[in-house]
Each structure stands twice: as structure tokens, then as C-alpha cells.
A and B are shown apart, each in its own frame.
Chain A
Amino acid sequence: MRAHLQVVLMTTAFLLAPIPAFAAEEVTVFEIIDMAAQFAGEELTVEGELVGDYGFRNDGWMWTQLNGDAYVAAPLREGGPPVGANIGIGVRIPVELAEGLDSPGGYRNRGPVVRVTGIWKYHDPERQGESYLQVDALTVTEAGRQLDEGANWTALISGSLLLAVAGIVARLTPPDN
């Protein structure tokens, strides 16, 4: 009797619950750029590094860039190979989701790696044809980290020597005119 009641309750709960959303399609940044028109208006999940700036605007949104290239896993400054240009898209994130993120990627640091889900707005008519991912869920999968920079002593010493030689030549041989 109890088992029957359980089945009835669960069935009722299932029927009354809101229709579950289809899982967002999991894609890469490259796929979004390459098949931008096909993905127009679709809900997508994508992972990548936030780079550049966090532009907190007055309308409650934060804009930044999401890169999905090889430099996310292997930054050049940590010995990663140069494998071409960056692959990035613009992302618009609600301010409440963007608060507390580590600094965006740049020269001194690898930005936070995030997994975001949102609607791909392809040539959005409401923003005069801009394309971007409007994020409604964000998870940080890897915190940002500092990238070390060492001084280039060879260049520093060679440059100083060359400047010194130029100065000596200039002093010893004044120009005629």
C-alpha cells in the first residue's frame, strides 16, 4: 500500500513539475565561431579563459572575452608552444555572476577558466548586429594564476654595451657638420 502511494506521489510530482529544459549543447569556442550562424539562438555550454578586461556597465551586465585556444592549458609564458592566433568570443555576464572572479588573463596572469551556459546571440538585432554569448550560468573550473616573468639579461647587457659603444664612438669622433 505504502509502495503504491509512493509511486502515485512520484508520478504526480513528475507530472506537475515544470518541463525540464533540454541540456545545453556542449561546444568549443572554435565551433561557435566556425558555425556561428547555425548556433544562432541556441543554448550552449562552453569552457574557456576570461581575458582582457571586465567591463562592468551601468545596465547590470559585465562584458569580457572568453578564449578557447591552446594557450588556456599551455600559456606561452609557461613554455607552451606558439600555435597561432587566439580564438575568442565576447560574453555578456550578469553582474551578480561576475562578482569575485579572479583578474582576467593578460601578460601577468592566466585568467580564470570558466564553464558558462547561455544563449548564442548571433548578429543580435537588439544590439545592432553584435554577436556574443549571453551567459546565465557560470562555474569557475580553474582559478586564475600568475604567470612568471624573468628579466632577459642577455638582451639587457647587450643593449647596454651597444649604447655604451655608440656613446664612445660619438664622443671620440664628432661629426664634421
Chain B
Amino acid sequence: MLIRPVADDFRVIGFYMGRIFLVVAAAAGLPLVWAAAAREWSPFGSFLLMGGVFALFGVVGTRLTPKEQGLDWSHGMVVVALTWLLVPIIGAIPLLLSGHFGRPLDAFFDAMSGVTTTGLSLLNDVDHLASSLNFWRHFLQFLGGQGIILAALTIFAGTGGITLYFGEAREERILPSVTSTARFIWAVSVVHLVFGVLALGLVGWLVLGFGIDRAVFHGLMVFFAGFDTGGFAPQSTSIGYYHSATFEGVTSLLMVAGAMSFGLHYALWRGPRRGVFANLETRTILATFAFTMVLTLLGLAATRLFVSVTGLTRQGLFQVLSAHTGTGFSTVPSVELAKWGGLAFGGIAIAMALGGMGSSTAGGVKSLRIGLTIKAVVNQIRQVLLPEHALVGTAYHQSGRKHLTPQLTQSVMIISLLYVALYLLGAGVGLAYGIPLQQALFESVSASANVGLSVGVTDPSMPILLELVYMLQMWAGRLEFVAVFSLLGFVYAWVRGR
């Protein structure tokens, strides 16, 4: 029998959401200060309005003090799912008021794309967008990539933190407590922020010939979108705008750092480093990257679009890296990407679908699940081929020796299949609107795996239903389904429960 949620359940959810909203309200102060410093008064007003809404919801929420209950698993999941739905809705206010969107839903789409670090965009005329609004778009990617909940956990320690932490699609706790893990993740990010912006800013200033202020601006925006594998860019031609192999090289390093699990960051920072390359996850991502890279280069060579090997390698490498890390930066226009048929197209689509490492800012099925799935299939085949009573080893190395249990295999398979279903959902809706299969599938995978590479389907004139489906894909893909299903279950129990 379904139990209908009672008032105290809503108080628990409201209380924790209130705390999170207060953190986001504080974060919204940054673009407000930026707009004031840049004397961009129209965006300034809209940031004030957004901050006011977050603050009011936050204060009211934290006054809903629960009487009896603490935050249990299902509450935590509902909080996470609702947070990732409501933050983009309120966060879309400045985008909507900017006049750069044709419909309110488009502004919500961009905010959702930002928070989920997808990078698909329906923004009109980004080349004339206010710098503070550009900052807000990219900062949304940073906030979403790091984890909105994680930001709140860093400030508000307490019971229930573990549920919220795992609800945000994180699979490992690096340090003994969730709070210390959250602080470590922020420490890693801040160090990368300093060095990343410095490196990109220096390249912008010394190599590209930008003024110092513009070099730092571009460095900061590209850092947010690169390290958090988001894919927004301050100019319409994405990373192709910079026309610089050096800039692409630094950006690539940031994308790789963003797609690495924070557990791997921890191992590289504090050791032991020896086990890093023995990990199933590391080996899998290296193998799948090599595979998709070869596929793409062969495909590009067949198109005969490039007359030099260095050109083919540089352009192919950047696009595959961008796809596999789930970033979505590009150095070629979407019109051309759509013409990369055959193996090149397939290589990039597969790289997007596979995604980066678990507990990173990347999306997609994730390397560990791919590695475990392959291992389970190989074990199954060996079991069939070997004599009936032969024992097949189930051990694998991932931060120590572990065993592939039937339960683990089942959960890995379920999540992987859900991703495949999500990819097919968007492709199916795209097909129904008459979009060719190849393009419909590419864009759907890009949305579900939170990548952001586009072949031109995502456009302000796209059908509303397809837009809604892509938003659902971004949301469910980022949260890896569990929190979304929990919210749906909660709503169902509220309607049908007793």
C-alpha cells in the first residue's frame, strides 16, 4: 500500500530546499556585483529580482522546521530532483529579461542546459550579450558541475548530507565525512580555477593579442565551461573563435581534468598514484577514447575534407575529446559537423554516449559502468565456454580489489539500459518531427549525456515538445535517474496514496 506523504514530509523537503536556495541566493550575488562593476544596469535589475526570489524561498523554506522526522533517503532524493528543477526555473529570470530569448521556455531551456552542464543553447545573438549575463550562464555551469547540493553541503553540515550527496549522482565518498569530501572537491576546483584562468588568460593576452581584461574574461568563461564540462562559450563560434592550437591545448587539459573522477584527483594529489592506471575505470576510458578517436580520424580521412594530417588530427582530436568528456566545445560549425557522416559521425556520437568518469562533472553512461558491463559480458561468455563446474574470476581493480557481484552487475546494467532508452526517446521524438535519423540520434545523445555538441537541431525554432524532451533528458541524464524516479514516486504517492 502506498503511504501518502504527510505535512511533516513536505516540511522536511521544504526545510532542506530552503537551505539550498539560500546558498544559491548568495551565489547569485556574484553576477549582481559583476553587473554593477560593468555598469550593466538592465541585467543588474534582473539579477536582483532573481536573488530576491531565491532569498525569499530560502528564508520561507528554512522556517518550515520539521517536527519529528529527519531527512531520509526518499526525502533526500526528492530534494535533489526538485532543486535541479527549480534552480534553473528561477535562474532563468535574468536570461528571460535579457531580450535574447523568443519564448520563456527557451530561457528555462538554457538555464537547465547550464545547470546540467549540457551546453545546448537557444540563445539569440550571444555575440551581443551583456558580460554579466555571459558570466551567469557560465557560472551556472560551474555551480551545476560542482553540484548545487555539494555547495550547500560545504556550508551546512548535518544529518541527511549523505543522502543528498549520493542523490546528485556521486558514487564515492573520498574522505570519511561528506562535508570533508565536499570541501576537498571545492579545493580541487579552486586550484584548477586559479591555474586554468591564469593559463588561458596568459594565452589570450600574449598569444591571441587580446587586452588583459578581455583575456581574463575569456579565460574565466572557458574555464567554467571547460572544467565543468559544460560547453557554453562567450562567442557564437565556440572555441573556433580563438584560432589557436595553444588555447585549444589548455582547454583540452581542463576538459580532461573535468572528466576525471574526484577520487582520481585525490589519488593524483595525495597518492598512491601507482594504482591509478590499474583502475578498471581509467583503463576503460583510455581504451574507449582510443577507439572513438581512431574511428573518427578514419571517418574524417574518408570525407577528404582535410588535406593535411596535422589538420585532420588537431580538429578530430579536439572534437572527440570534447565529446568524450561531455564538454561540447567545438572548433567547427554545427553545419559542418552535420556533414561529417559515416565513421566520423559515429565516433563522436559513441564518445558522447559513453561519457567521462563517475563522480566527475561529465555525463553519459560513464566509464566504470562500461568497463563493468564488458567484464560481465566476458565473464558470461567464459562461463558458457568453460566446463560446468569451472569458477570464473569476478575480481576487478578499482581503488583496490573488488568483486563484480550479481547485484552490482544488475544495477550497472539497469542504469546503462536507462541511458540507452533515454537516447532513443529523444531520437524517436526527433524522428516524429521529420528530422533525419542520424541527426535526431546525435542531438538526443548530446542532450541526454549532457554534452552540448549540436548538428543544428537545437534551434529557437524547434518544436516545443522536442524542446521539453531535451530538457527532460538533460535533467534525468545529469541526475542518473534515481532522484527523478524518487520524485515521480513521491508525487504518485501523494496523489494515489492513503
Name A's B-contacting residues (CB within 8 A).
33-34, 36-37, 51-58, 62-63, 65, 67, 69, 71, 75-77, 82-90, 92, 105-107, 110, 123-125, 127-132, 147, 149-156, 158-163, 165-166, 169-170, 173, 175-177
Chain B contacts of A90 at CB under 8 A?
237, 240-241, 243
Q: A130-B243, A159-B45 are in contact. Are A83 and B314 (CB under 8 A)?
A: no
B388 CB–A CB distance under 8 Å: no
| Closest chain B CB from A101 CB (angstroms) | 14
Kindly report which residue of chain B lies nearest to residue A176, judged by CB atoms: B65
Question: CA of A14 to CA of B101 in the docked complex: distance in angstroms?
Answer: 57
Q: Complex: how many Å from CA A52 to CA B59?
A: 41
B209 lies within 8 A of A147 (CB):
no
Q: Does B46 contact A (CB under 8 A)?
A: yes
CA distance A167 to B19 in the complex (A): 15
Whole-angstrom distance between the Cβ of A3 and the nearest chain B Cβ? 54
Binds A, one of B169-177, B190-198, B330-338, B342-350: B330-338
CB-CB under 8 A from B426, the residues of chain A are none
Q: Give CA–CA (A87, B214) in the complex, Å.
A: 22
Q: What A residues does B44 contact at CB under 8 A?
A: 151, 156
Min CB distance, B133 to chain A, in Å? Answer: 8
Instruction: Report the bound CA distance from A65 to B238 in whole Å.
Output: 11
CA of A92 to CA of B208, assembled, Å: 12
A151 to B45, CA, bound (A): 7
Does A83 lie within 8 Å of B97, measured CB to CB? no
A34 CA / B456 CA spacing, docked (Å): 12
Which residues of chain B come closer than 8 Å to A82, judged between CB atoms?
Answer: 99-102, 124-125, 460
Q: Which of B49, B127, B211 contacts A162 (CB 8 A)?
A: B49
CA distance A85 to B235 in the complex (A): 11
- Cα–Cα, bound, A121→B424 (Å): 38
CB contacts (< 8 Å) of A150 on chain B: these are 41-42
Q: Assess A85 versus B56: contact at CB under 8 Å? Given A53-B210, A123-B315, A152-B45.
A: no
Interface of A is mostly: mixed
CA distance A12 to B89 in the complex (A): 76
Contacting pair A86 B214 (CB below 8 A): no
Q: Is the beta-carbon distance between A128 and B99 smaller than 8 angstroms?
A: no
CA–CA, A158 and B59, complex, Å: 17
CB-CB under 8 A from B123, the residues of chain A are 85
CA distance A88 to B310 in the complex (A): 25
Asked if B210 contacts A55 (CB within 8 A), the reply is yes
**Chain B interface category by residue count:** 35 or more
Report the separation of the CA atoms of residues A129 and B123 in the bound assembly, to the nearest whole angstrom. 28
Which B residues are within 8 Å of any A CB, using their own CB? Answer: 40-42, 44-53, 55-56, 58-60, 62-63, 65, 97, 99-102, 121, 123-131, 207-211, 214, 218, 235-237, 240-241, 243, 245, 305-308, 310-315, 331-333, 335-336, 459-461
Asked whether B124 lies within 8 Å of A160 as measured between CB atoms, the reply is: no
Jot down 23 A-B pairs with beta carbons below 8 A, ordered by A.
Answer: A34-B335, A55-B208, A57-B209, A65-B127, A77-B128, A82-B124, A84-B124, A84-B461, A88-B237, A105-B127, A106-B128, A107-B130, A107-B131, A124-B311, A128-B245, A147-B128, A152-B42, A159-B46, A159-B50, A162-B49, A163-B48, A169-B56, A175-B65
- Smallest Cβ distance from A58 to chain B, in angstroms? 7
- Contact A128 to B241, CB < 8 A, known contacts A71-B128, A151-B45: no
Q: Which residue, of A85, A90, A132, A151, has the highest number of chain B Cβ atoms within 10 A?
A: A85
Q: Which residues of B contact A89 (CB under 8 A)?
A: 237
Asked whether A129 and B56 contact (CB < 8 A) given A82-B100, A123-B306, A155-B45, the answer is no
Instruction: Check A128 against B314 for contact (C-beta < 8 Å).
Output: yes
